[in-house]
């Protein structure tokens, strides 16, 4: 997908076509689009803890993730009660593949699914993407949302989301030197909202799927 975006970019797809279309050039362009906007549009020592921790090996009182602030830490550390659950009590940790986790969930269970860039690794020529999106449709409540990021400006599987009961909206894309967040590692961020439930597929009875020859005579 990185190569496809590079080939379709103006330096390559324009009338001059002066740039090479090799993989190495595509990766180089992707790295430049990642790092240059961060250096130009964020102050790493003050408001970009994600790069500060990589460069300095530590956070500071002025430069740290929001969840490490005193107020946020107090809220996240509160154990909660039966009447007033803690803010983390509704979070479940799964260590299996997303497709397997969804297979064991009840219908209409989730309101939000954050799948990040996991679908970038799917083969466009296989049905794995459609299978997982179908399971997401079943598992989400009506109006539920899927948040994803991708190394592509418009990942190919967005069309599959739209064909399986979702609407899609690009929440940010790295075009014209944009810095879409303080990490800026992905080319785009998308929000897919469930608009309709897919019909449940009823498997055919087993006997109808079997090629059984006609029995004209039976003897012992």
- Predicted pLDDT at 81: 80
For 150: left if phi > 0, alpha if psi spans -120 to 50, otherwise beta; the answer is beta
**What phi and psi values does residue 81 have, to the nearest 5 degrees?**
-130, 180
User: What is the per-residue pLDDT across 18-34, written as a single tens digit (0 to 9) for each?
Assistant: 455 578 888 999 999 99
Q: Residues with Cβ < 8 Å from 26, sequence gap 6 or more?
A: 2, 3, 5, 6, 7
User: What is the per-residue pLDDT across 147-164, written as a single tens digit (0 to 9) for each?
Assistant: 999 999 999 999 999 999
Which residues, given as ranges, of the chain have pLDDT below 50? 15-16, 18, 203-213, 215, 218-220
**Rounded to two decimals, what is the model's pTM?**
0.78
- Predicted pLDDT at 15: 46
- Predicted pLDDT at 3: 79
- Predicted pLDDT at 204: 46
- Predicted pLDDT at 20: 53
- What domains lie within the chain, and their CATH numbers? 21-75 (no CATH), 97-200 (3.40.50.150)
């Amino acid at each position: 997908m990185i190569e496809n975006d590079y080939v379709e970019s103006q330096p390559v797809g324009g009338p001059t076509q002066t740039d090479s279309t090799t993989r190495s050039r595509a990766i180089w362009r992707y790295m430049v689009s990642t790092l240059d906007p961060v250096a130009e549009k964020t102050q790493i020592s003050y408001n970009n803890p994600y790069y500060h921790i990589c460069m300095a090996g530590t956070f500071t009182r002025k430069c740290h993730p929001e969840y490490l602030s005193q107020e946020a830490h107090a809220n996240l550390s509160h154990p909660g009660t039966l009447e007033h659950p803690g803010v983390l009590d509704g979070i479940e940790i799964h260590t299996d593949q997303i497709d397997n986790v969804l297979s064991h969930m009840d219908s209409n269970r989730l309101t939000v699914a954050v799948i990040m860039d996991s679908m970038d690794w799917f083969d466009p020529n296989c049905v794995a993407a459609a299978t997982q999106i179908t399971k997401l449709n079943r598992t989400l409540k009506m109006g539920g949302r899927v948040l994803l990021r991708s190394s592509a400006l418009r990942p190919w599987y967005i069309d599959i989301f739209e064909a399986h009961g979702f609407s899609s909206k690009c929440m940010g894309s790295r075009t014209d030197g944009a810095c879409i967040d303080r990490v800026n590692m992905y080319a785009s961020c998308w929000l897919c909202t469930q608009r309709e439930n897919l019909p449940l597929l009823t498997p055919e009875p087993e006997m109808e799927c079997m090629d059984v020859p006609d029995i004209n005579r039976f003897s012992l």
